[in-house]
Amino acid sequence: MAEDESAGGDESGPVSFLSRRTVDPRSLPGGRSERRLAARGGRRRRRLFTQEEKRALLGELASSGERVAVFGARVGVHPSVLHHWRRTQGSPKAAARGLAVAHRIFSPDERRAAVEAHAKSGLTLRIFAQHWGVSVESLRHWIKLYRAGGPKALEGKQLGRPPGTKRSHLPPAVQAEIVRTKRRFPGFGLKKVRDFLMRFQGTRVSTSGVRRVLEVEGLRGREGTRRAKKKRHPPRRFERAKPGELWQTDITSFVLTRSGVRVYLVVFLDDFSRYVVTWKLSTRQKSELVTEALLEGIERFGKPQEVLSDQGRQYFTWRGKSEFQKLLARQGIAHVVARTHHPQTLGKCERLWETIGTELWER
């Protein structure tokens, strides 16, 4: 009852749009417990404020010059709520203290309305910015643009290409190089064509540019389609941490079509970088082929810690030790032997054979 009388009898104070004021418990008679009880008993359901109401209260707070606690007690809003509104509504003082400020993107119509309303209000930039919910820097920037270029200047810059314009085409010389490379290497994909042009022609082009040119020329084919593979167990991949820790070695053969002679190619490939440290080509598949290649690689790049090979007779023997194993023992190099009928262990060398066959030998 006392609360109703105090709320309705005090008409001399500032009028707010709030429907009802909350009596400050400190003004009630009695001790601390009575005031606390009165504060709890007089508590109403929490009210939700709209953005316009928040801005109006913040503008009234800024123009009154009162402390937040005094103003909050007068209008019936807790001081912590007012502080939160100041942070989220873009208060310059709160931003200077490092508090989080919610960023909002204003449309061109909202920017024009803010500039025109500020010109009619007669308020300072700081007070109007608090009332409008925008930072002082943004409002000052809008006013500067409005004075320089009128309302049209507040529309902002358009991102991306103007509507109706097409993408820039590649120069005819670059398009011709893409087509020539694809016809020369039909198995090349988009990335290989791009890398080939960069490495050997010094031409920088993107994969999307290569795709557009090949689609126009009808050279895409079925490079992007892959047949569904059967589900298999995922391969066990391995790679050494740095060069020189492990060399892989393997032997393959090719038949010279003109003379019918079979030649044997051996390589030693660094497991980390996949760099071919040494290789040899011979018409005989003997142990000297691999030992001479290993010694040449050691002379050029130093000794590796380990050498990985299969169980071929040039590398491994079941009884005693082969010449290759004896050479490794003398050099202090560990020998790692792959299990039988498992070429995946030497997968890096197998992949090298495929590249040599498709890009060199089949041509």
Band the pLDDT of 301: cuts 50, 70, 90: very high
Q: Average pLDDT of the chain?
A: 79
Range with top average pLDDT, 89-103, 151-165, 230-244, 262-276: 262-276
* Digit-coded pLDDT (tens) for 111-157: 888 888 888 888 888 888 877 778 888 889 888 888 888 888 887 66
The type of residue at 278 is T
pLDDT for the residue numbered 22: 47
Number of H-type helices and E-type strands within the chain: 15, 5
Closest CA to 250 of 331, 312, 181, 329: 312
Band the pLDDT of 275: cuts 50, 70, 90: very high
Under a CB-based contact definition with an 8 Å cutoff, are residues 267 and 349 in contact? yes
Closest CA to 360 of 228, 265, 274, 278: 265
Q: What angle do CA 345, 319, 328 make, to 5 degrees?
A: 60
Q: For the chain, state the CA radius of gyration.
A: 41
pLDDT for the residue numbered 10: 46
Whether 18 has a pLDDT exceeding 60, the answer reads: no
pLDDT for the residue numbered 90: 52
- Strand intervals (E) in the chain: 246-255, 262-270, 276-282, 306-309, 334-337
Mean predicted confidence (pLDDT) in 219-227: 62
Task: Kindly state the tokens that stand for 251.
Answer: 């032997």
Handedness of CA 198, 201, 205, 211 (dihedral sign): negative
Residue owning tokens 């500020």: 118
Distance between CA atoms of residues 64 and 71, nearest Å? 8
* Digit-coded pLDDT (tens) for 85-105: 877 765 444 444 433 344 577
Whether 272 has a pLDDT exceeding 90, the answer reads: yes
